[in-house]
Amino acid sequence: MNKNKNTNQIIKIVHVFGALDRGGSETMIMNLYRVIDKDRFQFDFIKHTETIGAYEAEIRQLGGNIFSVPRYTIYNHRHYVTAWNNLITDHPEWDIVHAHMRSTAHMYTKLLKKADKKVIIHSHSASENKGIKGSVQQFYQRNITEFADILLATSKAAGNYLFRKKEFNVISNGFCVSDFKFDIHKRTNIRASLKIADQTLLLGMVGRLDKVKNHRYIIDVLTEFNQMTHDWRLLIIGKGKLEDNIKQTLKARKLLRNTIFIESTDEMSSYYSSMDVLLFPSLREGLGNVAIEAQANGLNVVSSNTVPLETNITDRIEYLPIDKKSMNKWVRKIESIYTEDKDSYIESRTRYNEIIKKTEFELSKNVRFYEKVYGDLGEH
């Protein structure tokens, strides 16, 4: 009999990630961790890096433990498996593994299943890297569902991509919607701290500085837009391996002086309030959390048409192609936002928060789902 058949026993879930920074999947789990019933559930975390992530201090404050395994490189296969076996042996208290990192999930879920753990596989993305790296990932993911008890996905596209014809549940990335309500005082304070005038158009991009987020496309768009007006700023929030490349490209286009970089923040709502439009030209997304958060703030969102339509909740979002011939559509859309009546736009922003509150993205609904899933798995 499972030791958690006694419902007074805390069910322990270990979440597996690549790192513990402010990515979409990590943020989703942290939103859940803050409010889940800790008399019934406790989280631990396994990461594939020694680098300290943005969420680690808070995880420890909430009672979670953090463990590291080496990043898998094929050549360290034996070392990788040994690290996992050691963790599993040392932590018999884990009841459920919730796998968010999918590239090696078939390997570590096999080991956990042998130790009689329940397994959740969670798809957060709708496609892979390209080239050799993508081919290797697809090879290791070909049997990813073999040891899973439950399959979850952030969108239909993410589930269909990873799980093919297997049955899965779509669960939205919940967040505390009221935290993202537009606030005129936050707008004023952030703009003052960034030295941005009230009338200046503030464009935002939020996410890791990676090829998939398609910063280069926006740089091309803004190169054209800059010929119409210089009264704009681009706020890039995130960090990543392409930071230097992005800065060099902006400098070459004489746009760097219009651009502000912020690595990470726990005040996203304040920054959304400061913006006039969120630019979201991703090549692919499992869902697109930031597009939903931005709509909860009443912010205009201009998105690529590759982003899942589950993000289409309000009239604040518009989807455009991201090919070269469509660049002028992005320029015209930004221009239309720049020339609209800013006072009436700002006055209308607060009402959008109530629209998002009524959807499945409201955190309270999300928590009930996970408490049932974890409870059912942990007590059987």
- 105-147 pLDDT tens trace: 999 999 999 999 999 999 998 765 555 555 556 666 677 899 9
Q: Specify whether the CB–CB gap between 323 and 233 falls below 8 A.
A: no
Look at residue 103 and tell me whether its pLDDT is greater than 90: no
Mean pLDDT throughout 285-313?
95
**What are the b/e assignments for 318-339, b being 16+ CB within 10 Å?**
ebbebeeeebeebbebbeebbe
Q: What's the CA gap between 155 and 136, in Å, rounded?
A: 24
- For residue 2, give every residue at least 6 positions away whose Cβ sits within 8 Å of its Cβ, in sequence order, or none: 95, 378, 379, 380
- Same CATH fold, 177-357 and 3-174+361-378? yes
Q: Is the pLDDT of residue 9 over 90?
A: no
Angle in degrees, CA 190, 191, 193, rounded to 5: 65
Sheet holding 317-320, edge to edge: 259-262, 232-237, 201-206, 277-280, 300-304, 317-320
Give the 3-state secondary structure of residue 97.
Answer: strand
Residue 206 class from Cβ within 10 Å (0-12 exposed, 13-18 middle, 19+ buried)?
buried
pLDDT digits 0-9 by tens, 13-45: 999 999 999 888 999 999 999 999 999 999 999
Please enumerate in sequence order all residues whose Cβ is within 8 A of that of 279, keeping only pairs 6 or more positions apart, or say none: 203, 204, 205, 218, 221, 302, 334
Cβ–Cβ < 8 Å for 377, 5: no
DSSP element (H, E) containing 169: strand 169-170
Q: Are 63 and 48 in contact (CB under 8 A)?
A: no
DSSP string for residues in 203-223: EEEES-SSGGG-HHHHHHHHH
What local confidence, expressed as pLDDT, does residue 380 receive? 67
Could you tell me which CATH class the domain 3-174+361-378 is placed in?
Answer: alpha beta
Does 4 have pLDDT greater than 60?
A: no
| Mean pLDDT along residues 353-362 | 96
Distance CA 151, CA 115 (A): 19
| Beta-sheet pairing, 259-262 with 150-153 | unpaired
DSSP at 311: G
Listed by start position, the domains of the chain span 3-174+361-378, 177-357
Q: Quick one: pLDDT at residue 114?
A: 96
The architecture that CATH gives domain 177-357 is: 3-Layer(aba) Sandwich (3.40)
